[in-house]
Structure 1
Amino acid sequence: MLTALVRLRGALQNAALPLDLPGVEPERSSRADMIDQLEDYVIPRLTTIDGPLLTVVGGSTGAGKSTLVNSLVGHRVTEPGVLRPTTRSPVLVHNPGDAEWFGQDRILPDLVRSDRATGDTSTLQLVATDKVPMGLAILDAPDVDSVEEANRVLASQLLAAGDLWLFVTSAARYADQVPWEYLKRAAERSTSVAIVLDRTPDEAVETVSTHLARMLASRGLKDSPLFVVREGTPDADGVLPPELVADIRGWLDALAADADARSAVVKQTLEGAIRVIGAKTFQVATAVGEQAETVDQLRDDAFRAYAGALGDIRTATADGTLLRGEVLARWQEFVGTGELLKTLETKVGAIRDRLVNSVKGKPQQVERVTHAVESGLEKLLLEHAENAAERAAAAWHARPAGRVLLESHHDIDRASRDFRRKAEKLVRDWQQGVLEMVRTEGADKRSSARFLAYGVNGLAVSLMVVTFASTGGLVGAEVGIAGGSAVLGQKLLEAVFGDQAVRSLADRARKDLERRVDELFAGERARFSTVLDDLGVDPRSPELLRAAARRVDDLRFAAQQSGQSGQDNALSMGSD
């Protein structure tokens, strides 16, 4: 069971609930409470099952908790608060012989041990006194309804770490809501509870105690002992007359002296805590599953936005879209216009040599085409990067959880700040790659008249133009001027390399461009993925939580069956 609970704690610690989904806040609180109780009480208590009974004295503001603790011990061990709220370290009173049970590695391990009072709620003051019998420890906790949040949090933590609650209220405040919320929790997890009705006037004892007993019964606490402390005046040390607390002191002494009774209280509280933690883990698992599902939806939103952008870029870089405007003008300067393009409307194949021989491109014209291609491609990439970011952000904005994420990542709806620089480098690197393709392919043709006439740069530009019109089988006047320009580029290349080589070069150039663009946009999309990854939502968490909780439930059930079997055997032996 100890191993199973340690694994359950690990699964709970790794179960992230960062997204503000409907109903998530109670599950966050429940998860935190379960981790705290496992660390503060359940796991340490399992390793020290024979340790003293830890009785936590808790309750509402002004109920007289500290005075009651001093009175049970018989001298001042904790300072009653005169001014509210009182902020001080909690006080644990124990017998000197039990000191070993309350070291730093035992109950409430995250609280620093001290032998003196402090104003630090992260410190546990230990007080050893022979007035407390061995087998019993009394812990004075802050007010559960304190106006100071630190006091309320500590009070909740301490009560969750107790084997037994000595819950203190008063005749004036026994019906207050906050204390009853804690008592409801105690009933749900079978925590052992005793109620102290403190500071009760003689004339109100019967009426108030009867009403309080009915309230306890109606809320599942009918078996909880109810003690009444009548009004009295503490002495200078804050101690009430012994007779006013004699019933409570006698009951606690009897528990301390009876190992079986003490063990029964511990096991009841421990078993109830484990049962509730197991049950609530399944609820947390469902909440974590909703988180993982939402993360997947947000991730898909970004993926679709960027997949759409990549599809549009592939289309625009293969259907002749780029062979317009500046690129077309510079290309026509290079290859010539007028009669040359009109000739394409006739049988191109029959007069190939005449066409290619008419090209009079000069080096500076090649450079202008190169710059025009570079500029056009960069603009295309930037435009679609901006559009993809906007579409992804718009999809996130349509989801409440996504809107919260966008608020903390203000510039994610735009292309990254260094995208333009990356796009420029991509285009230059691709153009250099095309140049190398042409140079490699024409290694054995460099001395030919045609290769020398066009040059590596001229042929590389021609290959880029062909690549940008590589779909749909563009031919002649059927596709207008842009297509005609691409056909001319293709014929120029064919005159040097041949038909099959040109098709291979264009295919390689196109795939190289697509690969580079895919990598560039993967980086852009990763900005959205990183936001989601940083949330720490593991899709495996729901099943890990359920598996850990099932293991704890199985062991708990087996222990119950074993205990019942032992009782049956004892009864059988008795009857024999």
Structure 2
Amino acid sequence: MVPEGLPTALGRLRAAISAADFPLSLTSAAEARKVGAALVAQLDDYLLPRLARLDAPLLVVVGGSTGAGKSTLVNSIVQARVSAPGVLRPTTRAPVLVCNPSDSQWFRSGDLLPGLTRTTKPSDDPHTLQLVAAPALTPGLAFLDAPDIDSVVDQNRQLAAQLLAAADLWLFVTTAARYADAVPWGLLRTARLRGTVIALVLDRVPDEAGDDVPAHLAEMLAANDLAEAPLFVLPETDVDGQGLLPGRDTAELRAWFERLASDANARAAVVRQTLDGAVAALSPAADGLAAAADEQAAAARALRERVRAAYRGGAETVERSLKDGRLLRGEVLSRWHEFVGTGDFFRGLEARIGRLRDRITAAVTGRPQPGNQLKSAIESQLTTLLRGVAGDAAENAYTGWQAHPAGAALLEPSLARPTPDLGDRADRLVRDWQRGVLELVRQEGGDKRFVARTAAYAVNATGLAVMIAVFASTAFIPTGLEIGTAAGTTLAAQKVLEAIFGDQAIRRLATKARQDLLERVDDLLADEAARYFDRIEAVGVDADPGGELRAAAADVERARSAAALTVGSKLALPQRDLGELR
């Protein structure tokens, strides 16, 4: 009977694992991709099809190290040459599955290990599964001869691991010379943690080592919580003319498997224990993937913040430049003095406001050319500043990403510089801002007789004075560097504007103009920073990638507990006694 809810929960987890991506170059990414692919393969190859057919024949995957004699052992168990042994390594490249003819339909259907193409002929293609019918084999049990787990060929090792993950029972074959190798013990521990039922064959044991080697192996099994795994010891011997081991040496092993195949309850207990263990192992594995996915999201946030910090620094540089008076130096200051008539203007500061208004009006209506020069100087100064901060911000963002492994992999040389059209956009920004300032003046002075009387020249002149005021401290309070370089200029602009609009209006005009400029600068720098953000978006990192993985894994665990796969199906395998085996 198929446990209700568990296949649905596994399907949700499979979808979550498939959707989880690890595109950023982090230390955990490669392993997470590998684990994710292995989990999806196990779900497709074994868990889902096995849940759909709990009564399907038991699959014994025969695995082990290179030259352990796996193919010879399979041939000897089924009493036929079904898998080709040999002296060349690796011998088994494509897996071979041997079953009773009555069980062939299940394995031929392709539900189990669906990624392998079925064939009835020998093949070297690792993407095929050769099916061999062996009448001598008891129905209900099949053997799959897998490639070497320590093969020099990467593809063979990967296939061996995939097949072992699809085993109901793993028959591990090793030799007296290689039983302590690290690679097989790593896989044995993984199989134990996953709950896979394991039996072992210690092959080619010389007479002189018949006591010591099996005893040592038994100690190693106990130390790794595998003491209950059945252990079969085969002596070193020659094969017969068909390449089979002597019947007397494999008789007990064959009898053990025959009893298992003939006992439906025992087979069911093996299937359910392995299945339950494999499902239970999914939750911690998914949690590991969720943690790696969270690292991806955290790295993406860190990369975004490095970009924001770089361009935020550029915006702050512009704001400081507007406050400390540095923009009032050089060409802008000279053109301002020319515009207002330096000597006469400052000598008239103490005169009546009315006279000051008249003189300024005369100046701006009679001499428009200096105003154009001042406007150009302001534009040039601002554009130069914007190009500089954009260049610095791009370089700082680039350096920040270079120092981060995930960022370095996303970089391209052009990101270290502003976009090619930055200069044109900066020019356009300044011109648009200047037009905006003039519009502010028109709106503020709409009912002032001064603006009405002096028309366009008054608006332009007043707008230029507002721009000069923006280049000074907020609300015309000179401090620090500004006192030493441009206090007189600032105060002059203040007096002119106060004479026209009044003190409060002046503060409002300057504040609005400054804020408008800073907002335009923010937009400009945001457009520049977007290039970096686009690189992150292109690889696709979710905001909460681990959430669905954890939720799906928890759903699977609840469904597993409810299914109670091992309740009422106690595992009872034939136990081996080392003394009896010798």
Q: TM-score range by the shorter chain?
A: 0.7 to 0.9
The answer for unaligned runs of 5 or more in structure 1 is 568-576
Paired residue type of 2:188: L
Paired residue type of 2:468: V
Aligned length: 561
CA distance in 1, matches of 2:391, 2:92: 55
| Residue in structure 2 matched with residue 88 of structure 1 by the alignment | 93
CA distance in 2, matches of 1:60, 1:49: 30
| Residue in structure 2 matched with residue 522 of structure 1 by the alignment | 526
Task: Identify which of 119, 122, 131 aligns with 1:126.
Answer: 131
| Residue in structure 1 matched with residue 407 of structure 2 by the alignment | 405
CA distance in 2, matches of 1:132, 1:457: 102
Q: Could you say what secondary structure the match of 1:196 adopts? A: strand
Q: Does 1:425 align with 2:428?
A: yes
Q: CA 1:424–1:69 in structure 2 vs 1: closer, same or farther (change >3 Å)?
A: farther
Q: Does 1:471 align with 2:474?
A: yes
Post-superposition offset of 1:263:
0.9
Contact 1:87 1:120 (C-alpha < 8 Å) held by counterparts: no
User: What does the per-residue CA deviation read over 1:424-473, in whole Å, with 9 as the maximum and x for residues that have no partner?
Assistant: 33223333444555567777889944124x16655543443333336142
| Residue in structure 2 matched with residue 554 of structure 1 by the alignment | 558
Task: Identify which of 357, 364, 370 aligns with 2:361.
Answer: 357
| Residue in structure 2 matched with residue 574 of structure 1 by the alignment | none
Contact 2:207 2:236 (C-alpha < 8 Å) held by counterparts: yes
| Residue in structure 1 matched with residue 174 of structure 2 by the alignment | 169
| Residue in structure 2 matched with residue 3 of structure 1 by the alignment | 8
CA distance in 2, matches of 1:385, 1:136: 71
Post-superposition offset of 1:264:
0.6
Post-superposition offset of 1:481:
6.5
| Residue in structure 1 matched with residue 580 of structure 2 by the alignment | none
CA distance in 2, matches of 1:7, 1:317: 57
CA distance in 1, matches of 2:48, 2:391: 53
Trace 1:288-437 onto structure 2 (pairs within 5 A). 288-344=293-349, 346=350, 349-360=353-364, 362-395=367-400, 402-406=404-408, 408-411=410-413, 412-437=415-440
User: What does the per-residue CA deviation read over 1:165-184, in whole Å, with 9 as the maximum and x for residues that have no partner?
Assistant: 11111222222221121112
Contact 1:450 1:496 (C-alpha < 8 Å) held by counterparts: no
Contact 1:87 1:121 (C-alpha < 8 Å) held by counterparts: no
Q: Could you say what secondary structure the match of 2:67 adopts? A: coil
Contact 2:466 2:509 (C-alpha < 8 Å) held by counterparts: yes
CA distance in 2, matches of 1:112, 1:65: 22
Contact 2:179 2:202 (C-alpha < 8 Å) held by counterparts: yes
Q: CA 1:114–1:562 in structure 2 vs 1: closer, same or farther (change >3 Å)?
A: closer
Q: Does 1:147 align with 2:147?
A: no
Contact 1:11 1:541 (C-alpha < 8 Å) held by counterparts: no
CA distance in 1, matches of 2:472, 2:369: 24
| Residue in structure 2 matched with residue 219 of structure 1 by the alignment | 224
Post-superposition offset of 1:323:
2.2
Which of 511-520 and 95-104 deviates more? 95-104
Task: Identify which of 71, 75, 95 aligns with 1:66.
Answer: 71
| Residue in structure 1 matched with residue 165 of structure 2 by the alignment | 160
CA distance in 2, matches of 1:183, 1:369: 82
Contact 1:356 1:491 (C-alpha < 8 Å) held by counterparts: no
Paired residue type of 2:471: F
Post-superposition offset of 1:403:
4.3
Aligned CA-pair RMSD: 3.6
TM-score by length of 1: 0.84
CA distance in 2, matches of 1:549, 1:487: 70
Contact 1:475 1:484 (C-alpha < 8 Å) held by counterparts: no
TM-score by length of 2: 0.84
Post-superposition offset of 1:369:
2.5
Q: Could you say what secondary structure the match of 1:252 adopts? A: helix
The answer for unaligned runs of 5 or more in structure 2 is 1-5, 571-582
Q: Could you say what secondary structure the match of 1:143 adopts? A: coil
User: What does the per-residue CA deviation read over 1:456-501, in whole Å, with 9 as the maximum and x for residues that have no partner?
Assistant: 655543443333336142489x956635445555666667767666
Q: Does 1:36 align with 2:41?
A: yes
- Which of structures 1 and 2 has the larger relative contact order (alpha carbons within 8 angstroms, sep 6+)? 2
User: What does the per-residue CA deviation read over 1:74-103, in whole Å, with 9 as the maximum and x for residues that have no partner?
Assistant: 333333243223473222223444344335
Contact 2:382 2:430 (C-alpha < 8 Å) held by counterparts: yes
| Residue in structure 1 matched with residue 117 of structure 2 by the alignment | 112
Which of 363-372 and 20-29 deviates more? 20-29
Contact 1:133 1:256 (C-alpha < 8 Å) held by counterparts: yes
CA distance in 2, matches of 1:290, 1:269: 32
Paired residue type of 1:510: R
Q: Could you say what secondary structure the match of 1:469 adopts? A: coil
